[in-house]
Amino acid sequence: MNGSRRRAVVMGTSAGGLQALRTILPVLPQDYPLPILVVQHLAACAPGWDPAWFAGQCALSIQAEMDKAPIRPGRIYFAPPDYHLLVEPNETVSLSIDPKVNHSRPSIDVLFETAADVYREGLIGVLLTGASQDGTQGLLKILHRGGTTLVQDPTTAEAPLMPRFAIAVGAATQVLSLEAIAQTLKEWGAVTHE
């Protein structure tokens, strides 16, 4: 993918995801030129889920107001618990309480598929640790639209099922450790920024 064509990053994770996100997101610099949209499978009352933690540890801004917000470079958009996060054709985010997909709301597939339709070859999809199959169909759609997909090495995942399934069906452009994913995103952002 041509670096100048990269336009957005979508990330999905489930079991073990908080630690995975805490490994990746704080590495990205304040001038990171891409928006990052994140789905983490969590119940609304899940302990330890606090986007404010990321605000204190990340150089990037955390987008607090979500529904109908324009998607801006250098911001992180977390799907709220129990809402699907979608990318609209006009490059805004929307929230939905439509039925669960893959037993999940928010669903990684919903975010990945709607983002793939909008950003096409400019999209980077990242699938991390998890104990479900959510995200695989979304990664395949990202690939079909010309985007790039990074999948966490299952041997480094707290819950390897989700990355292992994605790899098995050919949905991974690259299979990397968390640290390598963070470094790759950082490097690609620097190329995009030039």
Amino acid, single-letter form, for residue 25:
L
Res 189 pLDDT > 50: yes
Amino acid, single-letter form, for residue 70:
P
For position 45, what pLDDT does the model report?
52
| Residue 41 falls in the annotated catalytic set | yes
Record the pTM: 0.94
Please report where in the chains the tokens 């933690």 appear, as a residue: 53
pLDDT digits (tens, 9 = 90+) for 17-53: 989 999 999 999 999 999 999 999 875 555 556 777 7
Q: Where are the alpha helices (DSSP H) in the chain?
A: 17-24, 51-57, 108-119, 136-144, 161-168, 178-193
- What are 174's two structure tokens? 């690259």
| Residue 61 falls in the annotated catalytic set | no
Annotated catalytic residue, options 41, 84, 104, 109: 41
For position 81, what pLDDT does the model report?
87
Res 142 pLDDT > 60: yes
Fold of the 3-42+50-129+137-193 domain: Rossmann fold (3.40.50)
- Integer-rounded Cα radius of gyration of the chain: 15
Annotated catalytic residue, options 104, 109, 132, 134: 134
Please report where in the chains the tokens 């006009």 appear, as a residue: 90
Annotated catalytic residue, options 14, 104, 107, 132: 14
